[in-house]
Amino acid sequence: MAAILAAIAVLSSSAGEKIEKSPLYKDASQPIAVRVNDLLGRMTLDEKIGQTNQRSVAVGMHDLGGWVPQFEQGHIGSIMNVSSPQVADSIQRIMLNKSRLGIPVLIARDVIHGYKTIFPIPLGQAATFNPDIARKGARVAATEASSDGIRWTFAPMLDIARDARWGRIAEGCGEDPYLTGQMGQAMVEGFQGGLAGDPTSLAACAKHFVAYGAAEGGRDYNSTFVPERVLRQTYLPPFRQAIDAGALTIMASFNDNDGIPVSANRHLLTDILRGEWKFPGFVVSDCFAVRELISHGVAADAADASRQTMNAGLDMEMETGHYLETMRGLIENGHVSEARLDSAVAAILYVKFAMGLFEDPFVHTPQSVKYSAEHLAAAKEAALQSAILLKNENNTLPLKPNRINRILLTGPLADARYDQLGTWIFDGEKEHTVTLRHGLDELCRKKGIAMDFVESLKYTRHDNLSGIDAAVTAARNADAIVVAVGEEAIFSGEGHCMASLNLVGRQSELVERLSATGKPVVMVVMAGRPLTIKPEIDRSAAVLYAFHPGTMGGPALADLLLGVTSPSGKTPVTFPLTTGQVPIYYNHNNTGRPANGTEIGLDGIPEDAGNTFLGCTSYYLDAGHKPMYPFGYGLSYGCFEYSDLKLSAGEYGKDQTIKARITVANNGTMDATETVQLYVRDHVASVTRPVKELKQFRRVPLRKGEKQTIEFELPVSELSYIGADLRPRIDSGDFTLFIGGNSETTLSAIFSIK
């Protein structure tokens, strides 16, 4: 590699000048800042503008078509959607050998929850409450993607989502900033690996910065109205954590927040990202987002949009070519300073240097990593840990060979090779999916249980009453029914929002008819979001919520259904009772009139009530104030009991650490893992504070009969919040610390801060 670089060294041969054999920026021993400055000083205006231009090739392209001149002239800083090692290498060869300065391009793709081996959707990964799962998932994805020349992924998505109608809730880690921060950090670490010198590392892109998940009405791309204090308290922290973990890039979000499209928001993209957080990497626009300033109604044309976004701090423009077309004119007319362009280019070059691309941009990962046994095993483990046991009446699960001789498997998602993979899988191939049908069939054979499969509904919207009849007939011979329902993959993800969270089509009828047979119904739900399935839950003896579990979802679910392993997932979002409750989340403020559980529902209102007050607390007459399942909830085949919560002191100084001990026992008959969660409530503060906030969690494996004392250490500094003056503060006074197996835990102790 060094030889190639030496051969293409820039030679300056004008009379009297020293001949430069190896420019400073090509010297890997120099600090990155020195290399960036040196290179920037050599670039023409057009070469600089070229760095800010990201284009997309046709997906699956196998030769460079008409792009070669653009690469040679240095008009492209990044290219999206190349997924072939040969194409990737030929692009980099052109860049190194034919472009004037030999600046490699960043080859990008959306590698969200797997490349070939697909892991559970990010929301499912969040249900593991296990950052190691997320780290490993991202590492596997990066390794596989790098074998096709990809070195930049648009992930992780760190949008806090509290409205399940929003289809992109599937792509993130749910409603809680702490859980999202922990999982997001792990994903950044996993994607980025060892960076310079590591040919499997992908630059991570924390997206969508910021508040995109607060889209009004849960409708994608919609406006948001998140005030600065809430941004700082809730929406920004996961991004800060990702940057502190080294995330090299950030994607600006599509939404306009309080009237300003984020792509043109200087306060967010420059004052906070650069000024306060010292972010050294670069900001990329979302797809076509620069042009969309025109639709937002804040820019007249492409030049106006480019001027606003570049000046706001948006360094690279995705897809439209507007920077390439307009930036020279904007600079010549003084609408954008060359210094601002330089800072954008410096940030882009910084990332390329940090990744070691100048030294070696070529593909070194062998094709054999795709679907390797190790990757499939990791995907299975992720699916195992992400499934949530929501209900298990009379210990219906696990299905035991001594009680169950014959199982009927049915439902539109029982054998759904594509839908099981979930949203955002550009490269995952359904041919590699092991479905629930195949996983369960194989395990049943091993355990000596007979399994019948009746398709009933081909897909979730399928209107096939005779299929339901066939399933009901087959159910008569079975000792238990497993019915897989939920959502097709296309129902969630970008632009795929739902106004109702109920099961679509005839699925509800399917569950009802199966339940009417009197045989125990185990409902397995695959979906991109929490669904409002109370009627179907009521008709099922047991419910396992798997989200879209990925390539190895089938064998993982089979293990859980038959008790090879106990479920351990916990809800990463509040599960609403009915769609009308959303947005709904556990860490809401108390209000001046909190509901207290004694509220009168529709049935309790006297016929002639007239215009009477009904207690006037914060609740719905027809749905109360409680969700179907709270955040952090999930059962297991173990039986966990919590006792002896003790704090190291009753009072702490602001620089001290709270130590909290709790004993957790597994009094069940199976080994299992419990996620022990620690929440805090601030009693009196300068602004209203959430009723509870997750501060720490730990997965604790406990053998049957085992008891463990667990200690949490919580620095008092982590109790700080954003005050009315937009600064972090900790108030003196009383707090309650809660520990338990979900966010409704009442096991608590009070302490005070002096």
Closest separation in Å from C-beta 329 to ligand BGC: 27
Quick one: 112 or 635, whose CB is closer to ligand BGC? Answer: 112
Question: Residues 719-748 vs ligand BGC: string with x where CB under 6 A?
Answer: ------------------------------
Residue 207 interacts with ligand BGC (CB under 6 A): yes or no: yes
Element (H, E) at 522: strand 521-526
Q: Contact between 282 and ligand BGC (CB under 6 A)?
A: no
Binding mask 132-151 for ligand BGC (x = CB under 6 A): --------------------
The reply to whether 494 sits near ligand BGC by the rule CB under 6 A is: yes
Instruction: Choose the catalytic residue: 159, 163, 220, 286.
Output: 286
For residue 47, state whether it binds ligand BGC (rule: CB under 6 A).
Answer: no
211 neighbors 255 (Cβ within 8 angstroms): yes
**Contact, 396 vs 542, CB < 8 A?**
yes
Q: How far is CA 387 from CA 390, 554, 691, in A?
A: 9, 12, 27
Closest separation between CB of residue 49 and ligand BGC, Å?
21
Question: Mask 285-304, x = binds ligand BGC (CB under 6 A)?
Answer: -xx-----------------
Sheet harboring 480-486: ordered strands across?
388-392, 542-545, 521-526, 480-486, 406-410, 450-454
Concerning whether 479 is annotated as a catalytic residue, the answer is no
# residues contacting ligand BGC (CB under 6 A): 6
Site string for ligand BGC, 85-114 (x = CB under 6 A): -------------------------x----
Query: Can you list the positions of beta strands (E) in 96-222?
Result: 106-109, 152-153, 205-209
Calpha distance 207→355 (Å, rounded) = 20
Q: Which is nearer to ligand BGC, 286 or 488 (CB)?
A: 286
219 binds ligand BGC (CB under 6 A): no
- Annotate each residue in 559-588 with x if it binds ligand BGC (CB under 6 A) or - if it does not, as one string: ------------------------------
Distance in Å, CB of 184 to ligand BGC, minimum: 14
Judged by beta carbon, residue 81 or residue 648, the one nearer ligand BGC is 81
Nearer to ligand BGC, 32 or 205 (CB): 205
Instruction: Tell me how far, at minimum, the Cβ of 319 lies from ligand BGC, in Å.
Output: 8
- Give, in order, the Cα–Cα distances in Å from 380 to each of 376, 433, 546, 565: 6, 11, 12, 12
* DSSP assignments along 213-243, one per residue: GG-GGG-TT--B---HHHIIIIISHHHHHHH
Task: Give me the residue whose beta carbon is nearest to ligand BGC.
Answer: 154
**Minimum distance between the CB of residue 302 and ligand BGC, rounded to whole angstroms?**
19
In whole angstroms, the minimum distance from the beta carbon of 493 to ligand BGC comes to 9
- d(CA 700, CA 708) in angstroms, rounded, equals 9
Sign for the pseudo-dihedral over CA of 602, 604, 606, 609: negative
Closest contact distance (angstroms) between CB of 287 and ligand BGC is 4
Which CB atom, from 251 or from 330, has the smaller least distance to ligand BGC?
Answer: 251
Structure tokens at 159: 């949008």
Assess 191 for contact with ligand BGC (CB under 6 A): no
Answer for the pair 116, 550: CB distance below 8 angstroms, yes or no: no
- Give, in order, the Cα–Cα distances in Å from 645 to each of 394, 635, 691: 30, 21, 20
Taking the complex as a whole, how short is the minimal distance between the CB of residue 300 and ligand BGC, in angstroms?
24
154 binds ligand BGC (CB under 6 A): yes
Q: How far apart are CA 76 and CA 546, in angstroms?
A: 41
- Nearer to ligand BGC by Cβ, of 207 and 375: the residue is 207
Q: What is the 3-state secondary structure (H, E, C) of 589-626?
A: ECCCCCCCCCCCCHHHCCCCCCCCCCCCCCCECCCECC
Q: What single letter denotes the amino acid at residue 3?
A: A
Question: In sequence order, what are the beta bridge partners of 78?
Answer: 54, 106
Tokens at residue 290, please? 């620069």
Residue 292 or 441 with smaller CB distance to ligand BGC: 292
DSSP 511: H
Toward ligand BGC, which CB reaches closer, 78 or 460? Answer: 78
Q: Whole-number minimum distance, CB 485 to ligand BGC, in Å?
A: 28
Nearer to ligand BGC, 479 or 494 (CB): 494
Shortest Cβ 301–ligand BGC spacing (Å): 22
d(CA 131, CA 241): 13
Pairing of strands 406-410, 450-454: parallel
- C-alpha of 622 from chain center: 32
Spatial CB neighbours of 604, under 8 Å, sequence gap ≥ 6: none
Alpha helices for 449-552 (secondary structure H): 465-475, 507-515, 534-539
Tell me how far, at minimum, the Cβ of 54 lies from ligand BGC, in Å.
10
Q: Which is nearer to ligand BGC, 215 or 521 (CB)?
A: 215
CA 470 to chain centre: 39
> Per DSSP, what are the bridge partners of residue 698?
676
Structure tokens at 698: 């730990």
- Closer to ligand BGC by CB, 149 or 439: give it: 149
Peptide bond into 398 cis (omega under 30): yes
Instruction: Give the footprint of ligand BGC on this chain (CB under 6 A).
Output: 110, 154, 207, 286-287, 494
Give the residue numbers annotated as catalytic, written as ranges: 286
